[in-house]
Amino acid sequence: MNESEIRGLIDQVRDNSVTRKQFIRQMVGVGLTVPMAAQMLLTSGLAQAQTASTYKPTKRGGGGPLKLLWWQGATLLQPHFASGTKDQEGSRIFYEPLGAWDHDGNMVPILAAEVPSAANGGVSKDGKTITWKLKKNVLWHDGKPFTADDVVFTAAYAADVATSAYTRGSYADVKVTKVDSHTVKVEYTKASPFWADPFVSAAGMIIPKHIFESYKGSASRDAPANLKPVGTGPYKFTDFKPGDMLRGVINNDYHEPNRPYFDSIEMKGGGDAVSAARAVLQTGEYDYAWNLQVEDELLLRLEQGGKGRTTITPGGNIEFIQLNMADPWTEIEGERAHAKSKHPILSEFAVRQAISLVVDRAGVQKYIYGRTGIATSNFLNNPQRFVSKNTKFEYNVEKAAQVLEDAGWKKGPDGIREKGGKKLKLVFSTSINGPRQKTQQIIKQAAQKAGIDFELKSVPASVYFSSDPANPDTYTKFFADVQMFTTTMPQPDPEIFMNQYLTSQFATKANKWLGRNSTRYSNPEYDKIYLAAQSEMDPVKRADMFVKMNDMPVNDIAIIPLVYRPRTAGLVRNLVAPLSGWDNDLWLLKDWYKS
């Protein structure tokens, strides 16, 4: 099949005369792999069948219950403490931002009356002032009116150091003032090409001043509403058992007509991705299953003759490995992995290089992820203008062994290398999940051949991704040598995504381990370029800056990218659910319905 014929087949997928599954089968028939065929659909914008909102119901309610499976169950419902996606999603049922990101990376208004722009006067000519006009006649779930006071309060609440909000970075450097009851002004100290962070998407959910005002600052964790939300969203809170079950009921005062469609919502937590896939794709017991990190071969089998379908939505998520730059085993000032410490083994570049060489990324894609995970050497994989061409990955166990040998790491009688009285033994942590445990095993077996001993640790996802500051096994604390997970890119701009390697973002005891830099990687040049990119208005120069930033932790091997992960979810066949790779799955929950 030549290029012209392939393009013709892609056009048939676009006009729905050929299904995505049929396209993939034909490509496999002419010698392509499933991931290669899936990547063609991704780059053609065809990997997701339903992304745009085509809302059709003509009345509010009447749709019965909506049953969701979030196998990593939410543990709290305060969006500004939510360090894990599961808690952001649980919060998003009830709370809303001013704006959200659609599947094409365009902002759409939610609680805003319109998206600020230069044309409507919302964006100043110097790029320093953003004016938001708010929707009127919006009510909080307790009947109180939503106003500019709530927006100003949300910014102050998150920016307060004592609050220890995970979203503090979005609000710390802006001035937010009330213009009138339904207008807010956001002022930056310098030109801001990506001004759409405060009040937008996951970090932008607005909380009610009258509920949280008494709990700002050091009392923030005591608020009853952290577990019993009062929002403006399409559903009102009814019941919550952290890590297990979350329920809501239709908001009959919702601020958009004919919405929502469903009478109630249930988000079931716990279990695992495989059981979630079966419950939607095969049996239809649930309507939607989030984050199907399941071997692709199994997904394809479950779809055959089942009651659901898999959707693959392009975005910027990345499954990757972090190497701890701090010492997780020694306390300094009562704190493990302290910013002042250095890892006793991983601070040596040769060791990090050897670990990278025993990671078989292509094998992980081929045998585990298939169309749902594409091997990559980059942390930043989307949008394309930000993708580096300067990195590469290599799988070579023999080379890894030689690198260690040359660095003075000698094999002992047990086959494990040692140097200076230190054994090359490392704890490798991740969440409990089939593909992750298989990935761990693949890496462990290759590492053993090179003389590296990994002790594998698997933590329940509800614990690993918890926002609980008292839990020692969360990924943000990173009390292990090596860890692996997926980090999400919730905006079509990398500014927030790439703050994960800023020195100022170290996860520490002082910020309740909610700083975004859990690797504790520090590079003054990275910090300098990031600061410059925040005010660089030339899009070409700015893109080049982010490419350079991507290359630093990758080439320093503070991180090892594994697979770029377009978002994979399961839906029953009659569920219409607009999805976006640039926001939470529930970003447009108000528009979900069954055909």
* pLDDT tens string 195-254: 999 999 999 999 999 999 999 999 999 999 999 999 999 999 999 999 999 999 999 999
Q: Are 72 and 269 in contact (CB under 8 A)?
A: yes
The residue written with tokens 């929707």 in the block is 135
Is residue 321 within 8 A of residue 559, CB to CB? The reply is yes
Crossing angle, helix 434-450 and helix 349-357, to 10 degrees?
A: 120
pLDDT of residue 8: 67
pLDDT at residue 31 in the model? 59
pLDDT category at 24 given cuts 50, 70, 90 is confident
Ramachandran class of 291: left when φ > 0, alpha when ψ lies in -120 to 50, beta otherwise: left
Instruction: Name the residue with tokens 């930043």.
Output: 380
Rounded CA Rg of the chain: 24
pLDDT in tens, 263-280: 999 999 988 999 999 999
Q: pLDDT band for position 17 (50/70/90)? A: low
pLDDT in tens, 517-531: 999 999 999 999 999
pLDDT tens profile 473-493: 999 999 999 999 999 998 999
Least confident of 82-86, 253-257, 258-262: 82-86
pLDDT at 5: 66
Give the HSE-up count for residue 588: Cα atoms under 13 Å, Cβ half-sphere. Answer: 24
The CATH architecture one would assign to domain 57-74+233-315+566-595 is 3-Layer(aba) Sandwich (3.40)
pLDDT of amino acid 2: 57
For residues 9 and 22, give the distance between their C-alpha atoms in angstroms, rounded to a whole number. 10
Q: How many CA within 13 A on the CB side of residue 384?
A: 5
d(CA 282, CA 299): 10
- Band of the pLDDT at 466, cuts 50, 70, 90? confident
Across the chain, how many H-helices and E-strands are there? Answer: 16, 25
Percentage of the chain lying above the pLDDT 90 cut? 82
Whole-model pTM? 0.75
**Band of pLDDT at residue 33, cut at 50, 70 and 90:** low
Q: How far apart are CA 62 and CA 74, in angstroms?
A: 27
In single-letter form, the type of residue at position 94 comes to F
What's the pLDDT at 222? 96
Buried b / exposed e across 255-274, counting CB within 10 Å, b at 16+?
beebbbbbebbbbbbbbbbb
Q: Are 280 and 570 in contact (CB under 8 A)?
A: yes
pLDDT at 145 over 70: yes
DSSP characters over 322-381: EE-SS-SSSEETTEET-TT---TTTTSHHHHHHHHHT--HHHHIIIIIGGG-EE-S-S--
Report the pLDDT value the prediction gives residue 542, as an integer from 0 to 100: 95
Say whether pLDDT at 45 is over 50.
no
Residue 61 tokens read as: 């309610």
pLDDT of res. 1: 62
Q: Does domain 318-565 have CATH number 3.10.105.10?
A: yes
Instruction: Determine the average pLDDT of the residues in 61-73.
Output: 95
How confident is residue 129, by pLDDT bands cut at 50, 70 and 90? very high
Label residue 36 by pLDDT band (50, 70, 90): low
Average pLDDT over residues 118-129: 93
Q: Two tokens at 153?
A: 């309060």
Question: Mean pLDDT across the chain, nearest whole number?
Answer: 92
- Residue 332, beta-bridge partner list: 335
**CA–CA separation, 442 and 19 (whole Å):** 34
Distance, in Å, from the CA atom of 281 to the CA atom of 573, rounded to the nearest integer, reads: 9
The ranges assigned to domains in the chain are 57-74+233-315+566-595, 95-232, 318-565
Cβ neighbours of residue 496 under 8 Å, at least 6 residues apart? 169, 170, 194, 197, 203, 490
Q: What is the rounded CA–CA span in Å between residue 584 and residue 100?
A: 9
CATH number attached to the domain at 95-232: 3.90.76.10
Residue 47 is predicted with a pLDDT of 45
What average pLDDT score do residues 402-431 get?
97
pLDDT per position as a tens digit, 521-571: 999 999 999 999 999 989 999 999 999 999 999 999 999 999 999 999 999
The predicted pLDDT at position 51 comes to 47
Dihedral sign, Cα of residue 319, residue 325, residue 330, residue 333: negative
Q: What is the DSSP string of 127-190?
A: S-EEEEEBPSS-B-TTSPBP-HHHHHHHHHHHH-GGG--TTHHHHTTEEEEEEETTEEEEEESS
User: Model confidence at 48, in pLDDT bands (50, 70, 90)?
Assistant: very low
Helix (H, G, I), strand (E, B) or coil at 62: coil
